[in-house]
Amino acid sequence: MSLALAADGIGLPRSATVCVCVVTKRFMGTDGTGLVACGLEGDATMLGGTKGNPVVDLCSLDVACARWDLLEAGVAKKIHPVEEPGLRRSEDLASARAMRFHVLLAVRDEADIVDQCLRNQLTWADAIHVFDTGSLDETWEIVLQVASEDKRIIPLAKDSVFFSEKRLRGWMFHRARRRMRDGDWFLRADADEFHHISPREFVRTRMRPHETVAYHQYYDFHLTVPEVQDWEQGRETLADRGRSIEERRRWFTVGPYSEPRLCRYRATMQWPETVSFPYNAGYLAVKRLPIRHYPHRDPVQLDRRCRLRALMMNEPENACNRHWNQANWNSLIRPSGTPLQYWKPGTELPEPQFTNHLAPWPRRVAQRALHAWLLALMDRFRTGYSMAAYPRCIPVDLKNRLAAELSGNTGVWQASFG
């Protein structure tokens, strides 16, 4: 059968990237080497091939069809792997299969940004798992609305719980892993984060095949004195939230702090509620995943954020109050210019060469060996997430205080400006 006809029969577009396998095929009574386009899911059977064939390379379907036609005509007896611009040669089966990307997104009172966040993530993510930790604005309703438009958004729950990288993210991972398979990638994300390079592109172009965990590189965008003055004088209002955040906030600093964000999934890995990332998650990439971070978007949002964090931090039951550092919103306003840097949307950001996330080289060599051969064995001795574990619920009295403090505060803030 013609490869082109077979592809047309299953609706595979000619522009699709396919992985190519070597198979033995008989042409007029003699053995020859043929091609099977496995498709993005790595399933060679859909085009008449056999699973388990060694992968030669990645190419466009048009190129694969041309090679097949040559073989059918008896012109070629052997196929040589061909590198094409923009397509990386497969070094192992996992890199040739379609990588799926799963986002673990925790949100709270971020109605001004969550729609932009979700639609940005939908440009590269295969599944976005969302947990709302008790929003008092329209955040959850926006999540549900976008989810009704795109089934890749999976609303997990809305519940008034304390944020925790351990109990909350671990619970989210435990639910999301039901949809994951070996070789997929998952990442922790917040609603005020926008990936400057999509994780899919980052894995393809910035990570080596043996690197399976990436730390993040923050570019923290700040609210400046002139921007606050624009609010005071009415040149910027709540209506400007309809504009993209990258147009509204341009001044940033490069953050030195980093933590693991992106990880390749394996079925044996364990993430119990006692740790903030899976045990022995993987071998660290040298490059960091660049993220534009917008925690301070306008005076109304920043004032509300500080009120929320002040109440959370003072709650004795909040074991995660280190994360919720409180400060008066006015103290977070920065003058424009040095040491801030200006970014024009569509241009590159500086790439700092931080290495403080990497272990010294002797230890890194040992880690490489362990992650190459012993991970599955090590996973067997790790505890998993307890079925009874759940993020810690916010007490009723604190929920009432939050509602009283945060409800309607937008109008109060605006009145104070005039």
User: Residue 417 above 50 pLDDT?
Assistant: no
Q: What percent of the chain has pLDDT over 90?
A: 60
Three-state secondary-structure class, residue 132: strand
Radius of gyration of the chain (CA): 25
Span 213-234, pLDDT tens digits: 999 999 999 999 999 999 999 9
Contact predicate 258/369, CB 8 Å: no
The band of 2, judged by pLDDT with boundaries at 50, 70 and 90, is: very low
Structural contact between residues 333 and 301, judged by C-beta atoms closer than 8 angstroms? no
Average model confidence (pLDDT) for the chain? 80
pLDDT band with cut points at 50, 70 and 90 for residue 317: low
CA–CA gap between residue 271 and residue 37 (Å, rounded): 36
Region 174-202: mean pLDDT is 96
Weakest-pLDDT range from 140-149, 201-210, 240-249, 300-309: 300-309
Whole-number Å distance between alpha carbons of 278 and 269: 7
Residues 28 and 34: their CA atoms lie apart, in Å, by: 13
d(CA 184, CA 153): 17
Q: Using DSSP, how many helices (H) and how many strands (E) does the chain show?
A: 14, 13
Q: Which two three-digit tokens encode residue 175?
A: 């639910």
pLDDT value at 143 more than 90: yes
74 with 27: CB under 8 angstroms? yes
Q: What's residue 407's pLDDT? A: 75
62-76, 242-256, 299-313, 378-392: least confident range: 62-76
Residue 326 confidence (pLDDT): 53
- Give the per-residue pLDDT at 322: 52
For 258-270, what is each residue's pLDDT tens digit? Answer: 999 999 999 999 9
C-alpha distance from residue 287 to each of 203, 208, 217, 322, 365 (Å): 10, 10, 9, 27, 17
DSSP per position, 170-223? HHHHHHHGGG--TT-EEEEEETTEEESS-HHHHHHHHS-TT--EEEEEEEEE--
Q: What is the pLDDT of residues 10-39, one digit of tens each?
A: 444 444 444 444 444 433 344 444 444 443
